[in-house]
Amino acid sequence: MNEVYDKDQIRAIIGLGNPGAKYYKTRHSIGFRVLDELARVNGSSWQENNNMMYASVSGIALQTVYLIKPQTFMNTSGEVMPWLNKKGIKGNQIIVVHDELEKSFGVNSIKFSGSAKGHNGLRSIIGMIGQDFWRLRFGIGRPQAETSVSDYVLNPFSQKEEQQLLTLLPDACGLLVGK
Protein backbone atom coordinates (compact mmCIF):
# COMPACT_ATOMS: atom_id res chain seq x y z
CA MET A 1 0.00 0.00 0.00
CA ASN A 2 1.29 3.38 -0.97
CA GLU A 3 1.00 5.46 2.20
CA VAL A 4 0.59 8.80 0.45
CA TYR A 5 -2.94 10.12 0.86
CA ASP A 6 -4.76 10.28 -2.48
CA LYS A 7 -8.22 11.83 -2.29
CA ASP A 8 -9.14 10.13 -5.56
CA GLN A 9 -8.93 6.71 -3.87
CA ILE A 10 -11.33 7.69 -1.06
CA ARG A 11 -14.92 6.48 -1.28
CA ALA A 12 -16.10 7.21 2.28
CA ILE A 13 -15.36 9.84 4.90
CA ILE A 14 -16.56 8.94 8.39
CA GLY A 15 -16.82 11.75 10.91
CA LEU A 16 -16.79 10.59 14.51
CA GLY A 17 -19.00 12.18 17.12
CA ASN A 18 -21.94 11.64 19.41
CA PRO A 19 -25.47 12.20 18.12
CA GLY A 20 -27.74 14.97 19.34
CA ALA A 21 -27.58 18.70 19.92
CA LYS A 22 -26.24 18.15 23.46
CA TYR A 23 -22.95 16.81 22.06
CA TYR A 24 -22.62 18.66 18.75
CA LYS A 25 -20.25 21.40 19.92
CA THR A 26 -18.10 19.12 22.07
CA ARG A 27 -14.52 18.24 21.20
CA HIS A 28 -15.44 14.59 20.72
CA SER A 29 -17.86 15.50 17.90
CA ILE A 30 -15.41 17.47 15.75
CA GLY A 31 -15.69 14.77 13.07
CA PHE A 32 -19.39 15.57 12.65
CA ARG A 33 -18.63 19.26 12.32
CA VAL A 34 -15.96 18.73 9.66
CA LEU A 35 -18.38 16.60 7.63
CA ASP A 36 -21.19 19.13 8.04
CA GLU A 37 -18.86 21.80 6.62
CA LEU A 38 -17.85 19.54 3.72
CA ALA A 39 -21.52 18.75 2.96
CA ARG A 40 -22.44 22.45 3.17
CA VAL A 41 -19.70 23.55 0.79
CA ASN A 42 -20.66 20.83 -1.69
CA GLY A 43 -24.42 21.42 -1.46
CA SER A 44 -25.10 17.92 -0.12
CA SER A 45 -28.04 17.03 2.10
CA TRP A 46 -28.11 14.46 4.87
CA GLN A 47 -30.22 11.31 4.78
CA GLU A 48 -30.94 8.81 7.54
CA ASN A 49 -30.26 5.11 7.23
CA ASN A 50 -30.61 2.89 10.30
CA ASN A 51 -27.66 3.82 12.54
CA MET A 52 -26.15 6.68 10.54
CA MET A 53 -26.62 9.91 8.66
CA TYR A 54 -25.06 9.99 5.21
CA ALA A 55 -24.63 12.32 2.25
CA SER A 56 -23.17 11.80 -1.21
CA VAL A 57 -20.61 14.18 -2.64
CA SER A 58 -19.48 14.30 -6.25
CA GLY A 59 -16.55 16.21 -7.67
CA ILE A 60 -14.07 15.86 -4.80
CA ALA A 61 -12.67 12.53 -6.03
CA LEU A 62 -12.86 10.39 -9.17
CA GLN A 63 -16.07 8.80 -7.90
CA THR A 64 -18.91 9.57 -5.52
CA VAL A 65 -17.77 9.87 -1.91
CA TYR A 66 -20.08 9.06 1.00
CA LEU A 67 -19.97 11.27 4.07
CA ILE A 68 -21.04 9.27 7.12
CA LYS A 69 -21.94 10.33 10.65
CA PRO A 70 -22.58 7.26 12.85
CA GLN A 71 -25.59 7.81 15.14
CA THR A 72 -24.71 5.03 17.58
CA PHE A 73 -22.57 7.06 20.01
CA MET A 74 -18.79 6.99 19.89
CA ASN A 75 -18.14 3.55 21.40
CA THR A 76 -20.04 1.76 18.63
CA SER A 77 -19.10 3.89 15.60
CA GLY A 78 -17.94 0.78 13.74
CA GLU A 79 -21.54 -0.35 13.31
CA VAL A 80 -21.63 1.62 10.03
CA MET A 81 -19.07 -0.72 8.45
CA PRO A 82 -21.53 -3.39 7.16
CA TRP A 83 -23.25 -0.68 5.06
CA LEU A 84 -19.88 0.30 3.56
CA ASN A 85 -19.05 -3.36 2.92
CA LYS A 86 -22.29 -3.72 0.92
CA LYS A 87 -21.11 -0.77 -1.20
CA GLY A 88 -17.80 -2.58 -1.82
CA ILE A 89 -15.77 0.03 0.08
CA LYS A 90 -12.53 -1.27 1.57
CA GLY A 91 -10.51 0.07 4.51
CA ASN A 92 -7.92 1.84 2.38
CA GLN A 93 -10.76 3.76 0.68
CA ILE A 94 -11.98 5.18 4.00
CA ILE A 95 -10.81 8.20 5.97
CA VAL A 96 -12.06 8.72 9.52
CA VAL A 97 -12.14 12.26 10.96
CA HIS A 98 -11.65 12.23 14.72
CA ASP A 99 -10.53 14.32 17.68
CA GLU A 100 -6.86 13.89 18.62
CA LEU A 101 -5.58 14.62 22.14
CA GLU A 102 -1.94 14.22 21.09
CA LYS A 103 -2.07 17.27 18.82
CA SER A 104 -2.47 20.90 19.84
CA PHE A 105 -5.81 22.50 19.12
CA GLY A 106 -6.23 23.09 15.41
CA VAL A 107 -3.18 21.09 14.33
CA ASN A 108 -4.39 18.46 11.88
CA SER A 109 -2.71 15.63 10.03
CA ILE A 110 -3.58 12.69 7.84
CA LYS A 111 -2.09 9.28 8.52
CA PHE A 112 -2.65 5.71 7.43
CA SER A 113 -3.18 2.86 9.87
CA GLY A 114 -2.25 2.66 13.55
CA SER A 115 -3.78 1.82 16.88
CA ALA A 116 -6.78 3.42 18.57
CA LYS A 117 -4.60 5.10 21.25
CA GLY A 118 -7.52 4.99 23.68
CA HIS A 119 -10.06 6.49 21.24
CA ASN A 120 -13.19 4.36 21.53
CA GLY A 121 -14.59 5.39 18.14
CA LEU A 122 -11.40 4.28 16.41
CA ARG A 123 -11.35 1.11 18.54
CA SER A 124 -14.86 0.25 17.33
CA ILE A 125 -13.93 0.72 13.66
CA ILE A 126 -10.68 -1.22 14.09
CA GLY A 127 -12.72 -4.04 15.64
CA MET A 128 -14.78 -4.23 12.45
CA ILE A 129 -12.17 -3.76 9.69
CA GLY A 130 -8.70 -3.74 11.24
CA GLN A 131 -6.23 -0.84 11.44
CA ASP A 132 -5.66 -0.17 7.75
CA PHE A 133 -7.70 2.93 7.01
CA TRP A 134 -6.91 6.62 6.74
CA ARG A 135 -7.42 9.09 9.59
CA LEU A 136 -7.66 12.86 9.70
CA ARG A 137 -6.48 13.61 13.23
CA PHE A 138 -8.02 16.93 14.30
CA GLY A 139 -5.99 18.31 17.20
CA ILE A 140 -7.95 19.22 20.31
CA GLY A 141 -5.01 19.32 22.75
CA ARG A 142 -4.85 17.78 26.20
CA PRO A 143 -6.92 18.84 29.21
CA GLN A 144 -5.47 20.64 32.20
CA ALA A 145 -4.19 18.25 34.87
CA GLU A 146 -7.30 18.64 37.03
CA THR A 147 -9.70 17.71 34.18
CA SER A 148 -10.31 14.09 33.20
CA VAL A 149 -10.00 13.18 29.53
CA SER A 150 -13.64 12.07 29.34
CA ASP A 151 -14.86 15.36 30.82
CA TYR A 152 -12.59 17.30 28.47
CA VAL A 153 -13.73 15.63 25.25
CA LEU A 154 -17.41 15.79 26.24
CA ASN A 155 -17.30 19.51 27.02
CA PRO A 156 -17.79 22.23 24.41
CA PHE A 157 -14.97 24.18 22.86
CA SER A 158 -14.24 27.54 24.47
CA GLN A 159 -15.63 30.70 22.89
CA LYS A 160 -12.17 31.53 21.53
CA GLU A 161 -11.80 28.02 20.04
CA GLU A 162 -15.27 28.30 18.45
CA GLN A 163 -14.10 31.50 16.71
CA GLN A 164 -10.98 29.70 15.48
CA LEU A 165 -13.11 26.83 14.15
CA LEU A 166 -14.55 29.22 11.57
CA THR A 167 -11.27 28.85 9.65
CA LEU A 168 -10.10 25.48 11.02
CA LEU A 169 -13.14 23.55 9.74
CA PRO A 170 -12.65 24.71 6.12
CA ASP A 171 -8.91 23.99 6.47
CA ALA A 172 -9.68 20.41 7.59
CA CYS A 173 -12.00 20.01 4.61
CA GLY A 174 -9.18 21.22 2.37
CA LEU A 175 -6.92 18.48 3.73
CA LEU A 176 -9.59 15.87 2.93
CA VAL A 177 -10.17 17.01 -0.65
CA GLY A 178 -6.64 18.10 -1.47
CA LYS A 179 -7.15 21.86 -1.68
Q: Which of 168, 178, 177 is nearest to 99 (CA)?
A: 168
CA atoms within 13 A on the CB side of 86: 6
Give the CA dihedral 143, 111, 20, 73, nearest 10 degrees.
-90
Say if residues 8 and 176 touch (Cβ distance below 8 Å): no
Say if residues 46 and 38 touch (Cβ distance below 8 Å): no
- Is position 98 annotated as part of the catalytic site? no
Q: Are strands 134-139 and 94-100 parallel, antiparallel or unpaired?
A: parallel
> Using CA atoms, how far apart are residues 118 and 54, in angstroms rounded to an integer?
26
Q: Which of 7, 11, 27, 28 is catalytic?
A: 28
Catalytic residues: 28
